Amino acid sequence: MTELTQPAPAVGTAARRHLPDAPFLVAARGGVPARVPVWFMRQAGRSLPEYRALRANTSMLAACFDPELVREITLQPVRRHGVDAAILFSDIVVPLVAAGVDLDIVPGTGPVVASPVRTTAGVAGLPVLDAEQVEPVAEAVRLLTAALGETPLIGFAGAPFTLASYLVEGGPSRNHERTKALMYADPATWHTLLDRLADVALTFLRAQIDAGVDAVQLFDSWAGALSLKDYREFVLPHSAKVLGGLADAGVPRTHFGVGTAALLGAMREAGADVVGVDWRTPLDEAVRRVGDDVVVQGNLDPAALFAGDDVVRREVARIVDEGRAARGHVFNLGHGVLPETDPAVLTRVVELVHGLTPGR
């Protein structure tokens, strides 16, 4: 396994690492890697006992702004599982908090906004994010790129629609009714809101890239609540602003949403190099919808990890086989690791994936 003890560079001297043989980066760019790469969404966090011990007396947001803590939490699954990429420990609402939005992550609930944004005046009053406000995150990236050796680091941000849903609803929502009401009733205010949030996401991702991340992922967790027509009209231009704004950065860009089978083609049009697919759509079917020159990521059902080794082995083999229809395949879950998941099963998945042959 990669050694994780290299000394950190001085603050402000981070440079792009050259990792030409890293399986994750090779696959994400459409090449044939030495092995099928695998990492897990939410691999750093609540399924690991070492994470729970480390976070015992620290709130989620406090942890996200503590560079040393972010470094350690991000490294934990790399040490334990031997995954092919680390993903920065953070949260999609971090840039909103950094900018000055009154927001907290409430255990058992999720992000809760003190003053929901539902009017033109509310949108106009949203603060602008400056890269200096997420300097603790950038510092964590610099610490991590020094520690990870040959393992790539993925940065991420929440997509404009998902951030808007939290701001408009005031917290998590099942039906996104207030969000859709604003979208339909006042398109001008809606597009202004999403344009502002695209700037927030772009600034946050740029700060991570400038600090040294090797790839990025844009999470549109709630986009699956939309029809294809509404996605194209109300969301696609703003996600394209984020991903297009990173086109010159030289890092692979992944776009992922939940329940987005009908949206996959449009999500790729937004500028993704890699299209993340949730567990509901087989990878070969996703390729038929998007085009066989695409790189796909996914898509083991997180619940399958509770079904025993025979099921896990069968499902891993099936997904890798379906992924051969694409130009490239990064193995992942179809959503995040569930809190009750046995870490040993995740390690087993990594072993199984690495034992299969990559490429078409």
CB 111 within 8 A of CB 171: yes
292 is catalytic: no
- The HSE-up count of residue 28 (CA atoms within 13 Å, CB side) is 30
CB 254 within 8 A of CB 243: no
CB 222 within 8 A of CB 168: no
55 is catalytic: yes
166 is catalytic: yes
- In the set 166, 206, 231, 278, the catalytic residue is 166
Residues with Cβ within 8 Å of 354's Cβ and at least 6 positions away in sequence, in order, are: 35, 36, 38, 82
- In the set 17, 35, 66, 91, the catalytic residue is 91
CB 332 within 8 A of CB 30: no
Strand, coil or helix: 212: coil
- In the set 29, 35, 46, 232, the catalytic residue is 46
For the chain, the first-to-last Cα distance in angstroms comes to 27
- In the set 16, 17, 35, 55, the catalytic residue is 55
118 is catalytic: no
Q: Which of 235, 231, 237, 270 is nearest to 254 (CA)?
A: 270
Query: So which residues are the catalytic ones?
Result: 42, 46, 55, 91, 166
